[in-house]
Amino acid sequence: MGKWGRKLQRSKASREPRKRFTLFCEGKNTEPAYFRALKTKYRNALIDWEILPAEGVPLTIAQNAVARKRAQKKKNLFEANDEVWAVFDRDIHPNYNQAVSMCAAHGVGVARTDPCFELWLILHFRDFDAPIDRHAIQTELAKICPEYDPDKSKNLDCKKLMESVLDAEQRAERQLSLRERENNAFGCPSTTVGALTQAIRTAAEKARSKP
């Protein structure tokens, strides 16, 4: 059959799209500043986030993340492979364990921190294993980063933290191991934000290595 008589076929995509990470979180200043810096550093992975009202968190965050994950599964294969994460603190919020269980049951990643997200930021600089509350953690971060003011806008230049993401992941893993040995996996202090940054970093490296 001549070339004009060949059956036309839709060509297959030669390259998978970059993986997208959709994050649901509560913080208005600190978390978005960190994720913006992360998005700049790992630009080969797509990162979006939605800030939710403080009422009902972390359960509200879990519910919204699960709803987004369900919607993704109904779409095409590429979007179904994108990741949805819930980012929340224990602090004094109710339903913390319920939120973690809900996310795990529906394939939603959990970047949880006890007591608060600022613990994860401290781990970019040093190990930290004192079981203190949110206010004390924020005071510790302010000692390390004078520009961080927990009583005002909590502004922090997160760009300088990006060179220490891997160090923070390793410190967080050691911290989690200590909690597990204490039979208190969700105990204070602990964070799984490192699992999120590791997933983003891995996706970015994979996308960069493709032709």
Model confidence pLDDT, tens digit, residues 158-171: 999 999 999 999 99
52 or 128, which is more confident?
128
Structure tokens at 196: 């999120």
Mean pLDDT of the chain: 87
Average pLDDT over residues 51-62: 83
The runs of H, that is alpha helices, within the chain are: 30-41, 59-73, 77-80, 96-105, 118-122, 134-144, 165-181, 193-209
For the chain, the structural domain boundaries read 17-209
- What's the pLDDT at 11? 42
